[in-house]
Amino acid sequence: MRARTRTARSRVVVLAAVASLGAGLLAGCADDGKDDSDSSSSGGGGKTKITLGLFGTAGFEESGLYKEYEKLHPDIDIQQTVVERNENYYPALLNHLTTNSGLQDIQMVEVGNIAEIVGTQADKLTDLSKYAKSSDYLDWKWQQATTSGGQTVGVGTDIGPMAICYRKDLFEEAGLPTDREEVGKLWAGSWDKFIDVGKQYKAKGAKGTTFLDSPGGLIQAILSSEKDRFYDSSGKVIYKTNPAVKSAFDLTAAAAEDGLVGNQTQFQPAWDTTIANSKFAAMSCPPWMLGYIKGKSKDDAAGKWDIAQAPKSGNWGGSFLSVPKSGKNVEEAAKLAAWLTAPEQQAKLFGVQGSFPSTPAAYTSSEVTGAKNDMTGDAPIGPIFAEAAKNIPVQTIGPKDQIIQQGLTDNGVILVAQGKSPKEAWDNAVKTIDNALDQ
């Protein structure tokens, strides 16, 4: 899924707020023009109706995949309901799973929430290993949705292999190379080298600009490249004692103190303005970010961006499709979920939507190898992201990863960019996170 509601921008939403969302939340906000008020098993003309509950912009309808499946299966009628933001969607989904009611035939789950679903709701979900082939998916992606007992409760849609998007014109003005291979060599293998490039940019870069867009984007990229982050393999919370987390925080805080990053929170209006006004030279960039850049940039920015490998490969984003056992059409829903996430369909979705496949077989498809983006001109974005995807570490995902990441970002490193000391920022982040984990 190409996301605007990925882990780094998802806000902490307490479960107590679910009641205010309304029991019909997951059946609201339909964007396909169909009547979703009836969740019965029969669609129009006696067809079997399969409903999907999604968030953000999954792209299944926009890419024509629903129509293609309906053509292959004339007895199927597919209807989707969409909630714009995962922070509104997920608490309601969790509530519906807990009560085992009000669920769609297929429900999307964001990667930051999959560990909680696997750990607490697996008994409510269908084992999709009977419908999809594990060998089609990246092993780490398949394992994220699989219980210790071998039940696979979700099939992977997209992933978010991390690269670095940069402005060629601003790099050139700062005396830095602009060729993507040469740029990647500047910081290959080390986030410290990446920050050193930022210092070079600050010395000669355009006045009124920063090297990076935000502290949140930097710490997200660094932590996404670490195998162990917030939880260990036993499920214990380790973010406060994990040297990798503190190192990422300290490096980001130092960059903020040195003025190498902007002082805005990502995905907020003020941050959008920095994109439109070319106020920074580089940013952490999973595939879906290209669409965001395009949507917020002025017309004259087209072709001025390029993309290079990140210092270390990481993953930012991705989702799963799950099938509740309580659905009226479990068998047909499971078949549809497997089909939508098969390599051929994921390749088509990337060609239209920019959602990068979690299925390696798609990486040699023409939709991936020939992919281009208006912002990055002739850059071979498909092969660049595919190379990054091959080197993503197998991470331990915990049930409250989103809360911890958000605390480190919006209650932590952003404060340094706004004038607080690194220690004050760290202490505030820890206090915020621990309070949230105790709820």
pLDDT digits (tens, 9 = 90+) for 118-165: 999 999 999 999 999 999 999 999 999 999 999 999 999 999 999 999
Which pLDDT score is estimated for 18?
Answer: 28
Sheet bearing 305-309, strands edge to edge: 210-212, 280-285, 163-167, 305-309
| Of 50, 52, 30, residue with least CA distance to 41 | 50
Residue 283: φ, ψ to 5°: -160, 155
Structure tokens at 345: 């369909």
pLDDT digits (tens, 9 = 90+) for 376-385: 999 999 999 9
Which pLDDT score is estimated for 33?
Answer: 37
Average pLDDT, the chain: 90
Beta strands in 125-171, from DSSP E residues, in sequence order: 155-161, 163-167
Largest CA-CA distance found in the chain, in angstroms, rounded: 69
For residues 56-78, b (16+ Cβ closer than 10 Å) or e, as one string? bbbbbbebebbeebbeebeebbb
How many CA within 13 A on the CB side of residue 154? 28
Beta carbons of 300 and 374 less than 8 angstroms apart: no
User: Rounded distance, CA 360 to CA 389, Å?
Assistant: 9
| Other CB atoms within 10 A of residue 369 CB | 14
Structure-model confidence comparison of residues 24 and 359, the more confident one:
359
Which pLDDT score is estimated for 6?
Answer: 40
The pTM for the full model equals: 0.85
Asked which of 43-57, 254-268, 422-436 is least confident by mean pLDDT, the reply is 43-57
Q: Is the pLDDT of residue 41 over 70?
A: no
Q: Is the pLDDT of residue 22 over 70?
A: no
